[in-house]
Structure 1
Amino acid sequence: MDERVADTPVAPQVQHFPCVVYETQKKMDDYQAPDMRYGDLNAHRLMTYYGLTDVSTLVDPYTLQQLPGNSVHVPVYQPLPKRVTLSRGECTRRMFNEMRSLSHMPFSLYGPYRYVINEMIDHLQYGHGQVFRSPLLNQAIKEQITQDSSADNTLKIIEKVLDATIVKSKKTVPTSFKTHMQERISGGRLPKFDRLEDRANGLGITVHDTWATYITITSVVFSTTSWKASVHYRIQDHFGLDDDDIMNWEFRQWRFFRLWFVLQRYSAMAHRPFITEMETTMEIAGTL
């Protein structure tokens, strides 16, 4: 008579932390993205294909000549002032200063984040493409998540999914929760600065949308009657312009962006765009 082994239920595997529960299709540290190009266009291409002839009010970036600020008002019977040819470094310096002077109106008018754009312009000028980090932007990300009262707030989604999947009698989290978590977060709203107020508080011009987001549950701790989890957001954006940006009239109409594009993409200037990295850790909790 054959012996039969009774089927025994397999205990669910326990998830260990930290655990990445969500990541965008776009990857971190992507230096091959279109908006990370620099120094790849010559003067002829910039002027003809992109139509960037009116770039600066102070200098001509292609001839390095200083522009007469009041030439429009000079009577026709008077000769125009003699143009002065500047060094490449001086021409670039004046363009960056002009870009700074245009950064606050209307993009960064009020609030604690209005001067971050100045730091980022400085970094574009002197940072040589190094990653940019700012405690203020970390704070802004945290505030955006905290103040988002919508049902598709990713932190609220994580809290609900985690609370529903915790095996409360055993105080464990099964590995199966991760797949469900990824699906739910994909339908949520990731932190970004595309709200109406971000157009004038300095966050729209510095970050606006984001490139890549990784969300990690770093720990889940149980007590007698409750659980508590730490959720870490790591977010990257690119401070750079691609072709679609400058060909879009919403950007192109502003001299600020025309200066930026030429400073970044003109082969004679080639200032490197950079990755802006933001992070914050939030806590969520529930009862057993």
Structure 2
Amino acid sequence: MNGIDSKLIIFTTKKRFNDINADDMQSGDIDADTLKKHYHLGQVSTLIDWTTFCPSYKHPSLSSIPAVSREKAIAMLYDELRSQSHVFSFQGPYQGLIKDLFNHMQRNNGRDYQHPAMNNAYKNLILTDSSPNSTLAIIKKAIEQFDFRKSKLIKEHFSNDLYNSFLPKYTRWKDWVNGMGIAVHGINSTEISIESLILQGNRYTAVVKYRAQDHFGLDREDILKPQFNSIAFFRIWFVLQRAKHLAQKPFFTNFEATITLTGENNV
């Protein structure tokens, strides 16, 4: 017996998918003078002066070193970002993701990003959340306590509890060393659906799909926070993305997880 007639979307975050107007999705929108004075981003690199494309530090005997091209300066800033990324990503299976994300940013002009490792990490994040307010715990409880003989399962049987749940996020300490904290951290948008639900006696099998999206970009509030503004890694990233004459485009990262739940309906 089918517990639902077709795919049932049971939760969607208020923050919508593909929000190109979000502040962290903007690029090339801040002039150099504002970046220096308001955001305190004068010298951000040890390699290059991002305003003049001259080497940051010159030996007196080499004062005639000419400025490089815009393309070369951007490449140098990306190289510096990648070299500093190991601070946030130095162990585990996802440590190479942050470098791949910056490679994508440098080469793909804002195109969406997907990677199997992100799907694997997301599924693991969901499955290892053992809290009573986890999304999986809430979904299991709703299915197990629903009387399928009296009515049809609808979104509203899940919504209120899911809006009060702990949505999957990479905010654990280990995420700040395995690469996922810097690659994704907070997930901007989430959709949860029940793809199928089969009842056999009092046993059920439900296929639950999580679809998620984050923004690989920095917003104005991010860089004004001391924990970001004081770290060269984020200073370079913000300048690369937001400076008018650099204008490197942020992008959406998309990932998903499909999980099969089994158990007994207790009604």
Q: Normalising to structure 1: TM-score of the pair?
A: 0.87
Residue pairs, 1:157-236, within 5 angstroms = 157-167=138-148, 170=149, 174-175=152-153, 177-236=154-213
Query: Greater shift after overlay, 228-237 or 158-167?
Result: 158-167
**Letter of the aligned partner of 1:189 in structure 2?**
F
**Letter of the aligned partner of 1:214 in structure 2?**
E
Partner of 1:101: 83
Q: CA deviation at 1:84?
A: 2.3
Partners of 2:45 and 2:210 lie apart in 1 by: 39
Match of 2:129 among 148, 152, 158: 148
Partners of 2:155 and 2:226 lie apart in 1 by: 42
Does 2:242 match 1:265? yes
Partners of 1:100 and 1:62 lie apart in 2 by: 21
Checking the alignment, whether the CA contact within 8 Å between 1:19 and 1:217 is kept in structure 2 is yes
Partner of 2:36: 47
**What are the superposed Cα offsets for residues 61-85 of structure 1, whole Å, 9 maximum, x if unpaired?**
111102236x5xxxxxx65633321
Q: CA deviation at 1:260?
A: 0.5
Partners of 2:147 and 2:24 lie apart in 1 by: 42
Residue pairs, 1:93-132, within 5 angstroms = 93-105=75-87, 107-132=88-113
Partner of 2:119: 138
Q: CA deviation at 1:284?
A: 0.9
Partners of 1:16 and 1:22 lie apart in 2 by: 17
Checking the alignment, whether the CA contact within 8 Å between 2:115 and 2:255 is kept in structure 1 is yes
**Structure-2 change in CA distance of 1:43 and 1:151 (3 Å):** same
**Letter of the aligned partner of 1:174 in structure 2?**
K
Match of 1:90 among 49, 66, 72: 72
Checking the alignment, whether the CA contact within 8 Å between 2:4 and 2:196 is kept in structure 1 is no
Q: CA deviation at 1:97?
A: 0.3
Partner of 2:232: 255
Q: CA RMSD in A?
A: 1.6
SS at match of 1:221: strand
Match of 2:251 among 274, 278, 282: 274
**Letter of the aligned partner of 2:170 in structure 1?**
F
Q: CA deviation at 1:15?
A: 4.6
Residue pairs, 1:11-22, within 5 angstroms = 15-22=4-11
Q: Percent identical across equivalent pairs? A: 36
Checking the alignment, whether the CA contact within 8 Å between 2:90 and 2:178 is kept in structure 1 is yes
**Letter of the aligned partner of 1:237 in structure 2?**
D
Checking the alignment, whether the CA contact within 8 Å between 2:95 and 2:179 is kept in structure 1 is yes
User: Which consecutive residues of structure 1, in runs of 5 or more, have no partner in the other structure?
Assistant: 1-13, 72-77
**Letter of the aligned partner of 1:82 in structure 2?**
S
Matched residue count: 263
Partners of 1:19 and 1:141 lie apart in 2 by: 21
Checking the alignment, whether the CA contact within 8 Å between 2:4 and 2:197 is kept in structure 1 is no
For the pair shown, which has the larger CA radius of gyration, 1 or 2? 1
